[in-house]
Chain A
């Protein structure tokens, strides 16, 4: 039966109203000295250039080529971040305590935040909409293999699926499997293959 659930799209009037309301709020906050005219753009720029999934991609690529680094990443994600040539603070906001779990041919990991949208900002940036969607949050904890198949990840029944619910305290993410056909690639080439979805466990890495 077709569903009437609107997903993420609503009527244009509703978006126009929200756009006006948030602009009204931001302009009043600037006028009253709560924030400056540059505060919001400064924050958005930070997530475009310093804190984003490009950091996670570099960590995964390095772990794929360096077994000692992979061991460090799995044991202490924040120490692994410190060991990278990252901008200062990549164990900062919303990444103070991060943990990563490894996908293997026998075990597949996927992350969720059933209560809201907790996410490791320094390594993955900001969460995509599907992660914040109540439908994903409700279903993946109970029928993870079916949900993964809807994302295009087909797992054999013999593969154990581990679901990691992120919390305010601990932020989880996934070390995906290195795909075949990538022998001889540089870390930069490997990093370019990674997507946020692969590092959340709802996609595999493709060449």
Chain B
């Protein structure tokens, strides 16, 4: 398990930096917008809930892109590099790498254009190109309003019920997971079984993807932590996919 999957409870860190801004540099807004557009134009949206007529949107973007794809890029990084990069720096690296690997742009094009902007302050301050088919932006706003719900019909009854004790499995993790590593092997109580089932849109090596039940679990602090730094009058809750759990 990589450090970025296993952050919970790490010791020896600094006091919190209470930076309340969403973006700390103007450029970060642009990569946020590009990622959100990619989610809104993803080729899986014709099977989404709600369904979109995505193949009729006049964009050249024909790829599958969800949060999971963005997360997978960050989680696949070398852990020491992950913690050297600020939040949106990871996005910029992952997303620009995706457009190169999928053939939308070449690395040379990107590097040449970047170098031109760095060399000329006039070019760096010039407005972006205009134009493009407005139907693309209509789809982007439609996606923002209607979303892409992961809820799906339940294929088989949920294995666990409210009040059950469950243990988080020791799952072998590859480059992407939705299970915080520090929960592995620990026991929790089921406090809610969510209605229906939840997809993750694509299969991961550790077993999520196909629609399955999700449970709200309550973990006692003494179950998760050794005494140091533990708060005895606290509870920790996580909503966990069924495949990560076994009866305790």
Looking at chain B, what size class is its interface with the partner chain? 35 or more
Q: Say whether A150 contacts B16, CB under 8 Å.
A: yes
From residue A109, how far is it (CB to closest CB) to chain B in Å?
9
Within 8 A of A (CB), among B118-146: 118, 124, 128-134, 136-137, 140-141, 143-146
Residue B160 at the A interface, CB < 8 A?
no
Cross-chain contact A15 with B19 (CB below 8 angstroms): no
In angstroms, Cα B198 to Cα A207, docked, is 41
B239: CB under 8 A from chain A? yes
- Interface of chain B residues 70 through 111 with chain A (CB within 8 A): 71, 74, 83, 86-87, 89, 92, 95-96, 99, 104-105, 109-110
In the complex, chain B residues whose CB is within 8 Å of the CB of A35: 34, 37, 41, 59, 61, 132, 136
Cβ-based interface call for B67 (8 A): yes
Query: Is A37 touching B130 in the complex (CB atoms < 8 A)?
Result: yes
Once A36-B137, A130-B18, A135-B17 are accepted as A-B contacts, the answer to whether A161 and B71 lie under 8 Å apart by CB is no
B129–A94 CB distance below 8 A: no
Q: Which B-chain residue is minimally distant from A164 (CB atoms)? A: B237
B33 adjacent to A44 (CB under 8 Å): yes
Binding site secondary structure of chain B: mixed
Residue among A38, A150, A202 with max Cβ neighbours from chain B (10 Å): A38
Given A39-B37, A144-B231, A33-B132 contact (CB < 8 Å): yes
Given A21-B114, A136-B16: A114 in contact with B180 (beta carbons within 8 A): yes
Could you give, for residues 53-78 of chain B, a 1 whenever the CB lies within 8 Å of some chain A CB and a 0 otherwise? 00000111100000110010010000
The answer to whether B36 touches A43 (Cβ under 8 A) is yes
Smallest distance from the beta carbon of A78 to chain B beta carbons, Å?
A: 10
Q: CB of B159 within 8 A of chain A?
A: no
A162 in contact with B178 (CB, 8 Å) = no
Task: Indicate if the CB atoms of A151 and B18 lie closer than 8 Å.
Answer: yes
B163 interface residue per 8 A CB criterion: no
Q: Does residue A179 face the partner (Cβ distance < 8 Å to B)? A: no
- Min CB distance, B76 to chain A, in Å? 13
Question: Which of B14, B30, B89, B134 is within 8 Å of A3, CB to CB?
Answer: B14
Q: Are the C-beta atoms of A20 and B71 separated by less than 8 Å?
A: no
Complex interface: chain A residues within 8 A of B26 (CB): 19
Partner of B92, one of A21, A33, A129: A21
Interfacial chain A residues near B177, Cβ < 8 Å:
115
A20 touches B17 (CB 8 A): no
When distances are taken between beta carbons in the complex, the residues of chain A under 8 Å from B19 are 7-8, 128-130, 133
Q: Which residues 146-175 of B sit at the A interface, judged by CB distance below 8 A? A: 146-151
A92 with B110, Cβ < 8 A, contacts A8-B17, A42-B140 known: no
Interface residues of A (CB under 8 A from B): 3, 5, 7-10, 15-44, 46, 51, 87-89, 91-97, 114-117, 125-130, 132-139, 141-147, 150-151, 157-170, 196-197, 202
Listed A/B pairs (27) with beta-carbon separation below 8 Å:
A8-B17, A18-B27, A22-B27, A23-B124, A25-B95, A25-B96, A30-B128, A30-B129, A32-B104, A33-B58, A35-B34, A39-B37, A40-B37, A41-B33, A46-B141, A92-B145, A93-B40, A93-B146, A97-B194, A114-B7, A128-B21, A129-B19, A134-B7, A139-B13, A157-B233, A165-B180, A196-B20
B interface residues (Cβ-Cβ under 8 A, vs A):
5, 7-10, 13-22, 24-27, 29-34, 36-37, 39-41, 58-61, 67-68, 71, 74, 83, 86-87, 89, 92, 95-96, 99, 104-105, 109-110, 113-118, 124, 128-134, 136-137, 140-141, 143-151, 177-178, 180, 182, 194, 198, 200, 214, 216, 221, 224-225, 229-231, 233-240
